[in-house]
Homo-oligomer: A and B are copies of this chain.
Amino acid sequence: MSTARPASLPTIKRLPSYLQIIENARDDGREFISGTVIADELELEPIQVRKDLAVTGIVGKPRVGFSVSELIEAISAFLHWNKVNRSILLGAGHLGTALMGYSEFRRHGLSIIAAFDPSPERHDLVINETRILPMDDLDDFIRREQPEIAILTVPSSVAQQTADQVIAAGVRSLWNFTNVKLKVPAGVVVQKEDLSSGYAVLSVKMGLAAHSAECSDDPAPLPGGRTSTI
């Protein structure tokens, strides 16, 4: 394995899907896997998989493919998924609770060390090994435990003020599941998950599919073809 290179955002987004395939291969006892096989499973082009994997610094063997264990190590290292990311979750509603239960994230270093919620009836409940604490404890907890990430699953109406509070207490990275575009000071990282985007893409795809079913037998790829699988 040589050194990692800079990667484009589309590449970074595809790496987790590769990792999943490769971890499955490991669980099946396989020692090597080729870019071609990964591409087949994900319906991507082999050259794209090779290019993407190259950013991790992995070096393969012609004719054989890549070492499964080296590939897992390389992707995990590239994504920083081989270290623990201590995080807190704000808003223990259904979405927040769902995230607490995702073992996939936990396996890849995301450790949710506490959740915070204003509802007194939820306090001290332990869901998926994570205790729910009152909002009043938030500032002290952050200063004491120094979590790196705050996961925002609060209602949109309190998203900005919650972000302000955790940033003031020292959190430098936010994973924002609300539909609010947060205003944060320079140096604070925000990753926004936008389910509306997905709904929009689904809606447009459905419209195209309906149209092509009515009007012709042609398969109707999304306009913008090549990138339609993102």
Contact = CB atoms under 8 A, between A and B. Distances in A.
A189 B206 contact: yes
A209 interface: yes
B194 A17 contact: yes
B223 A108 contact: no
Contacts of A98: 93-95, 98
A39 B148 CA distance: 30
A97 to B, nearest CB: 4
Interface residues of A, number: 67
A189 B198 CA distance: 13
A169 to B, nearest CB: 17
Contacts of A71: none
A200 B12 contact: yes
A179 B20 contact: yes
Given A13-B197, A17-B196, 19 more contacts: A6-B224, A8-B223, A9-B230, A13-B194, A15-B200, A16-B196, A16-B199, A79-B204, A80-B207, A81-B203, A104-B196, A109-B203, A172-B209, A173-B205, A173-B206, A173-B209, A186-B219, A187-B209, A191-B199
